[in-house]
Amino acid sequence: MICGESKRVYCPVCGARFPSQTGRGEGDEVVCPVCGQRLVLRAGADAWQGERKDELSDREIADRIEEFARLRGYFFNDMKEEILAGLLGKRRRFGDFYCPCRMLHTPEYQCPCRPTRTGDVEDQGRCHCGLFWKEDQAPTPPIPRP
């Protein structure tokens, strides 16, 4: 049994494995520190398996992008709602929240996409589709994080 022990959690969105806090148990909610996905803990053989909370709902992607921006200190510009609508359209058409500005529909392009998670915003001031911005690079007054 892994309850109460500090074990790693697997995130099915970004593929990250991250340490859980001691004392977490089956059914507890955690946030992936890499992509911002809210996960419900399920016991695996020797690690926690994160199960997507509100899987494929409108709420899931809204929570994920808000959490990711909060974790990284990023901001949104005034196109946030249009980009969110594009993510929802990709989910309806292709089965998941793939970047609305990319043609590939593979796991590395689930929002926030791998390039964004690995430094594009830090290097270029924004992500490819313009959803996430460094505060000093936003072209319009940034929308504050909640």
Strands (E), the chain: 8-10, 17-19, 29-31, 38-43, 48-52
Mind listing the pLDDT tens digit of every residue in the chain (146 residues)? 444 456 899 999 999 999 988 788 999 999 999 999 999 999 988 889 999 988 888 899 999 999 999 999 999 988 899 999 999 999 999 999 999 989 999 999 999 999 999 999 999 999 999 999 998 876 665 555 55
Q: How far apart are CA 43 and CA 27, in angstroms?
A: 9
pLDDT of residue 122: 94
Name the residue ranges covered by the structural domains of the chain: 8-52, 73-137
CA distance readout (Å), 52 to 68, 78, 111: 15, 28, 14
Q: What is the pTM of this model?
A: 0.85
Q: How far apart are CA 73 and CA 97, in angstroms?
A: 22
pLDDT of residue 80: 92
Q: Which two three-digit tokens encode residue 52?
A: 């997507």
Q: Which CATH architecture has domain 73-137?
A: Alpha-Beta Complex (3.90)
pLDDT of residue 22: 78
Q: How far apart are CA 81 and CA 20, in angstroms?
A: 32
pLDDT of residue 88: 94
Q: Which two three-digit tokens encode residue 58?
A: 């409108």
pLDDT of residue 4: 45
Report phi then psi at 142, rounded to 5.
Answer: -65, 150
